[in-house]
Structure 1
Amino acid sequence: MFEFDQYLGFLAFLAIFTLGFWLMLFLLTFVVPYWIGGALLERMKEMREEKKAKRELN
């Protein structure tokens, strides 16, 4: 069915595919939401500071 080099190539493909799958799963479930949440919090802080600066000028 498979020769040895084909078998090794198939195993390498499976390993790379599996690593890529878990990396994408990790990025989509933890990294991206953390990044978006941090950006939103930072933007909210900037908006609050802008409002505070406007109030202090008036």
Structure 2
Amino acid sequence: MFEFDQYLGFLAFLTILTMGFWLMVFLLTFVVPYWIGGALLERFQEMKEEKKAKREAL
């Protein structure tokens, strides 16, 4: 079936594949939504400050 070298290579492949899978799950469920949410919050705050500055200028 497998020789020892092939077995180690297969285990290394499975390890890298599994790490990549869980990294993608982590990025798509936590990091990306946090990044988008922070960017939207910052943009809304900027828009609010622009309206406030425009109102004070008049």
- Interval of TM-score (by shorter of Structure 1 and Structure 2): over 0.9
Q: CA deviation at 1:34?
A: 0.2
**1:36 maps to what in 2?**
36
Q: CA deviation at 1:53?
A: 0.1
**1:14 maps to what in 2?**
14
Q: CA deviation at 1:40?
A: 0.1
Q: Which runs of 5+ in 2 are unaligned?
A: none
**1:25 maps to what in 2?**
25
Among the aligned pairs, what percent are the same residue? 84
Structure 1 stretches of 4+ with a deviation exceeding 2 A read: none
TM-score (norm 2): 0.99
CA RMSD after TM alignment: 0.2
